[in-house]
Amino acid sequence: MINREIDLPTSAGSMNTFITHPEEEGPHPVILFLMDAPGKRAELHDMANRLATAGYYVMLPNLYYRRVREFKIQESGREVMHEHMASLSNAMACEDVRSLIEFADQDAAARDGKIGCVGYCMSGPFAFAAAAAFPDRIAASASFHGVYLYSDRADSPHLDADKIKAEMYFGCAETDEYAPKEMVDNLESYLATRLSIHASNGIRAPNMALCFPNAKANTTKNRQRDTGKDYLRCIVVACNKNNESRNAKRRLTSPSADQSPFSFNSLIGF
């Protein structure tokens, strides 16, 4: 594997970004890995590495670069983390995505054409918004435990869902105070009236914290819970309603060589 730390130029400054991809058999299709609120850190580097071993060129940017080059929640605390979170918007994240795409387009190790995107928690709505902002580039996008996916905010990402040509995956925990059931219900109802939902529910997971390896290791009580109510609620959407449903369903389970290089099997295979 080839791992790099670069300073990627954007319209707002220099965004430090971790890039990982296989050493051979390139160029590799690009996946943008958008961090959760605790920031770009070794745990996410490991997750990006794991995704890259499947044959992807993975970019993990520090989305807090406008305020700080490195954020450590253990040193700065949650109050500062929330200040960093509040400083971001969907529009800002989409501008950063544009810069990431422009850089990848100039890197010989990155494959041209369609890309994938995945966002965690804070960045769930960023992955959603990016799919709408770059419909001709993003072929698959996933939100894990995303917050504010459906809200009364003027920039709520659900408002631009009709622009999306990608397939979208939303993984929402049964227990998540930041992404309550009401939001998930509203999102699913909204998408169902406009798009094609091909799957819902079915992956067992006690709560949103267990999405991350370190959290799994530190939450023995949650890890031991195994009731029928403790599952991850999943919504898989083919956002181009003109697509034939049968083909969309097939892409979710068995992508072939003549289809997009992205599949939810790999996007959710952490």
Q: Where are the beta strands (DSSP E) in 176-262?
A: 196-200, 203-204, 231-238
- pLDDT tens figures, 110-161: 999 999 999 999 999 999 999 999 999 999 999 988 999 999 999 999 999 9
Q: Which residue has the higher pLDDT, 218 or 6?
A: 6
Does an H or E element contain 52, and which? helix 42-52
Element (H, E) at 264: helix 264-267
Enclosing domain of residue 41: 2-267
Query: Among 18-22, 24-28, 52-56, 200-204, where is mean pLDDT lowest?
Result: 200-204
Who's near 191: CB < 8 A, 6+ residues apart? 158, 161, 197, 235, 237
Place of tokens 């009731």: 227
CB 88, CB 71: distance < 8 Å: no
The model's pLDDT over 4-42, given as tens digits with 9 standing for 90+, comes to 999 999 999 999 999 999 999 989 999 999 999 999 999
Residue 241 clears pLDDT 70, i.e. is over it = no
Structural domain count, the chain: 1
Q: What is the mean pLDDT of residues 174-199?
A: 81
How confident is the model at residue 232, as a pLDDT?
Answer: 59
Beta-carbon-side half-sphere exposure of residue 67 (alpha carbons within 13 Å): 13
CA distance 101 to 66: 19
Q: How far apart are the first and last CA of the chain?
A: 18
Q: What is the pTM of this model?
A: 0.82
Nearest to 168 by CA among 135, 137, 201, 131: 131
Note the Cα 74 to chain centre separation in Å. 24
**Rounded Cα distance, 120 and 37, in Å:** 8
- Supply the mean pLDDT for the chain: 80
Phi-psi map region of 157: left, alpha, beta (phi>0 left; psi -120 to 50 alpha): alpha
Q: What is the CATH number of the domain that holds 112?
A: 3.40.50.1820
